[in-house]
Amino acid sequence: MDRLVDMFLANLATERGLSRNTIAAYSSDLEEFCRFLEGRGIHDLSLVSRELILQYLEWVGPRISARSCGRRLATIRSFYKFLQRSLMAENNPASRIGFPKIPAPLPRVLNASQVTALLEYPNTQSPLGQRDKAMLELLYAAGLRVSELTQLELSQVHLDMGCLVVRGKGDKERLVPIGEWASKALKEYVEHGRRVLDRNGQCRNVFLNRDGKKLSRQGVWKILKHCALKVGMDVSLTPHMLRHSFATHLLENGVDLRSLQAMLGHADISTTQIYTHVARARLKEIHEKYHPRP
């Protein structure tokens, strides 16, 4: 079983171009599943039945959320699909098992005044302040994922055109406009602050830490939390919250879903449609707050 799992994980990396974190999640799920099977004396994946997978899900169910349970089922289903394509399994015992229903929580977003306070906080008289200003402007102006921000390289920045070439999930590229404010902050940082941070002139990444190395995901989170604390925000700010705010504010101001989908890099428009619910919820909240007869 270990050999088949290793083949599957290698296929995820080479054929589907999934990230290390995603592959690590698949690996963890399958390791747990194989441990369950071995505990019941099963060492041949062809002996796995639908009923046995249901027993596994019932076994892990009390310890995890419905979302995590659904992820494990998706992992097993994908694994058997791979085995079928590779002619190493005749059927997929997980194909007829339904996913648990998960209520989709609405994304948390900042209001316009919170965004303004956050973007105006960094002191641009220092290289690190210029970096933080450019980073915050870019997260909000382009709706980038934190991984897209940290992996962004100088060759992907086109300030003359006011856009970025972003590499998203599955290494897919998309063109994202960034607007005048973000372009100005990014230009100042690249031409001044970044040159100070990049002492050796060898790093290709746009955003660097104080040692001149690529800024990590954890580094971005720490900077955001620090800025949020300093401007008195009573929310736990994350990079994805700025992405949600970008999408919601665009939708509220009339952008169409297809354009928003392209800017966010969503493969399926159903993922983008959650922001219509956010916009409706915010409109309802505004109506109840300000209408004389709510």
Residue 163, pLDDT score: 93
- Which residues, in sequence order, are CB contacts of 10 under 8 Å at separation 6+? none
Residue 253, pLDDT score: 84
Q: Give the single-character DSSP code of 190.
A: I
Residue 230, pLDDT score: 94
| Whole-number Å distance between alpha carbons of 294 and 288 | 5
Do 247 and 264 contact (CB within 8 A), yes or no?
A: yes
Note if 249 is an active site residue: no
Note if 240 is an active site residue: yes
Residue 79, pLDDT score: 95
For residue 107, tell me if it sits in a domain. Answer: no
Note if 277 is an active site residue: no
- At 248, which CATH number? 1.10.443.10
Residue 171, pLDDT score: 84
How many structural domains is the chain composed of?
Answer: 2
Among the candidates 66, 85, 104, a domain finishes at 85
Note if 266 is an active site residue: yes
Residue 141, pLDDT score: 93
Choice among 72, 131, 133, 145 that is catalytic: 145
Same-domain status, 263 and 186? yes
- At 74, which CATH number? 1.10.150.130
Give the H/E segment covering residue 75. helix 66-85
- pLDDT means per 10 residues in the chain (294 residues)? 91 87 93 94 90 94 89 95 91 90 76 94 96 96 94 95 90 91 96 94 94 95 94 88 92 86 88 76 66 62
Same-domain status, 284 and 213? yes
Choice among 50, 169, 213, 214 that is catalytic: 169
For residue 134, tell me if it sits in a domain. Answer: yes
Residue 251, pLDDT score: 84
Do 53 and 93 contact (CB within 8 A), yes or no?
A: yes
Residue 278, pLDDT score: 67
* Domain encompassing residue 167: 112-290
- Tokens standing for residue 63: 């310890």
Same-domain status, 79 and 121? no
| Whole-number Å distance between alpha carbons of 116 and 52 | 54
Same-domain status, 159 and 254? yes
Residue 228, pLDDT score: 94
Same-domain status, 131 and 232? yes
| Whole-number Å distance between alpha carbons of 45 and 43 | 7
For residue 90, tell me if it sits in a domain. Answer: no
Same-domain status, 62 and 170? no
